[in-house]
Amino acid sequence: MAARVVGRTGRLAAVVRSSAVRLQSRLHGSTGLRSGSQANFFPPLEDAMLPSGSFNNRMALITGGGTGLGRAMTATLSQLGAQCIIASRKLDVLQRTAEEISSQTGNKVHAVQCDVRDPQAVSQCVDQIEALTGLPDVIINNAAGNFVCPSERLSPNAWKTITDIVLNGTAFVTLELGKRLIQNQKGASFLAITTIYAESGSGFVVPSASAKAGVEALYKSLAAEWGRYGHRFNIIQPGPIRTKGAFSRLDPTGAFEKAMIDRIPTGRLGTPAEIANLAAYVSSNYASWMSGAVIRFDGGEYVSLAGEFNELRSVTPDQWKLLEAMIRKTKGS
């Protein structure tokens, strides 16, 4: 009897999971999940979490919104009623994404070309946004550049390129919009997408680690300073989520993926739709008391990498019996 119930519940869970995956791939493209066995405990729920209409009459700017995680955030905000503006360098990519999402959600997505490294281009982009939609209520600083490289091989321009996109780009967008919002006495939610190694640092991605740490300092500082103008500042630190932009530059051969999944306690990568739900919540009025928060969203990878005894996961019960006996036998110091 119990086995029949478990069997039926299991089939039901599988049906729910597969329809969630179908919805996800319609809105966000393929999930591309590969996983370890414990991932069965942690299936991604990928439909929009907030009530429909949560972003009605709200304008959202997402930098780097044409691809990857920015695209997923745009799709979710648009589905929840927001009018979105996506901005980055490649206008053709932005326009394609904007059309695809608008046609699925029925809400307008605008595409604006902007290289965030150039403060003048950022200022012109904000002029365009003001003309299209007015100043945004939600700003997501998601654009980034990165590649793995031994630090001794980095040229000054390689360092400058990454830190310009990540730290200066975020600062230019945030300051330009912040000043205009303050002038117009309009509040807004600012969200920066960093990464788990912004906290620990990491070899082989040193310009990115340095710049993302700077972004976190910028956002925590402004959370303290600009609350008086109605602005909230929060940070999401994602762990690995498959996107072409990230994986082609950080694991070009795919050689490190399995080891990476093995060290994630939830046994799988995150999905774009999952981080999009979190970003939507943080940017919504349901989170109006949240400011200065740093939210790690990584399936447990950071703590798994940090704890020096975590490798003991591979010790078998029989081996534990032996270890325990050895430890108990020890007397004195």
Chain residues binding ligand NDP by CB under 6 A are 63-64, 66-70, 88-90, 93, 114-117, 142-145, 165, 169, 193, 195, 238, 240-241, 243, 245-246
Residue 80 binds which one of ligand LSB7OOIR, ligand NDP, none, with CB within 5 to 8 A depending on kind? none
Question: For residue 155, what are its two tokens?
Answer: 């040229």
Looking at beta carbons only, is 112 or 181 nearer to ligand LSB7OOIR? 112
Contact between 253 and ligand LSB7OOIR per CB under 6 A: no
Question: In the set 124, 161, 175, 281, which binds ligand LSB7OOIR (CB under 6 A)?
Answer: 161
* Residues whose CB is less than 8 angstroms from the CB of residue 166 and which lie 6 or more positions away in sequence, other chains included: 144, 145, 146, 207, 208, 211, 212, 214, 215
Question: In the set 118, 176, 216, 251, which binds ligand LSB7OOIR (CB under 6 A)?
Answer: 251
- Backbone dihedral region for residue 221 (phi beyond 0: left; psi -120 to 50: alpha; all else: beta): alpha
Rounded to 10 degrees, the C-alpha dihedral 11/16/20/22 comes to 60
Residue 256 binds which one of ligand LSB7OOIR, ligand NDP, none, with CB within 5 to 8 A depending on kind? ligand LSB7OOIR
What is the secondary structure of 124-182 as a DSSP string? Answer: HHHHHHHHHT-S-SEEEE---------GGG--HHHHHHHHIIIIIHHHHHHHHHHHHHH
Looking at beta carbons only, is 81 or 238 nearer to ligand NDP? 238
Q: What's the rounded Cα separation, in Å, for the pair 261 and 265?
A: 8
- Point out which span in 21-29, 119-127, 241-249, 314-322 binds ligand LSB7OOIR (CB under 6 A): 241-249
| Residue whose tokens read 């999930």 | 31
Residue 328 binds which one of ligand LSB7OOIR, ligand NDP, none, with CB within 5 to 8 A depending on kind? none
Question: In the set 45, 91, 182, 250, which binds ligand LSB7OOIR (CB under 6 A)?
Answer: 250
What is the secondary structure of 187-211 as a DSSP string? Answer: -EEEEEE--THHHH--TT-HHHHHH
Contact 165, 117 (CB under 8 A): yes
User: In angstroms, what is the minimal distance from the CB of 144 to ligand NDP?
Assistant: 3
Please pick, among 197, 219, 281, 286, the residue that the annotation labels catalytic.
197
HSE-CB of 194 using CA atoms within 13 angstroms: 31
Q: What's the rounded Cα separation, in Å, for the pair 53 and 82?
A: 8
Question: In the set 229, 256, 281, 286, which binds ligand LSB7OOIR (CB under 6 A)?
Answer: 256
197 a catalytic residue:
yes
Contact 60, 136 (CB under 8 A): yes
SS3 231: strand
User: In angstroms, what is the minimal distance from the CB of 163 to ligand NDP?
Assistant: 12
Contact between 249 and ligand LSB7OOIR per CB under 6 A: yes
User: In angstroms, what is the minimal distance from the CB of 149 to ligand LSB7OOIR?
Assistant: 4
List active site positions.
197
Which residues sit at the interface with ligand LSB7OOIR, rule CB under 6 A?
144-147, 149, 153, 155, 157-158, 161-162, 195, 208, 240, 245-247, 249-251, 256, 260
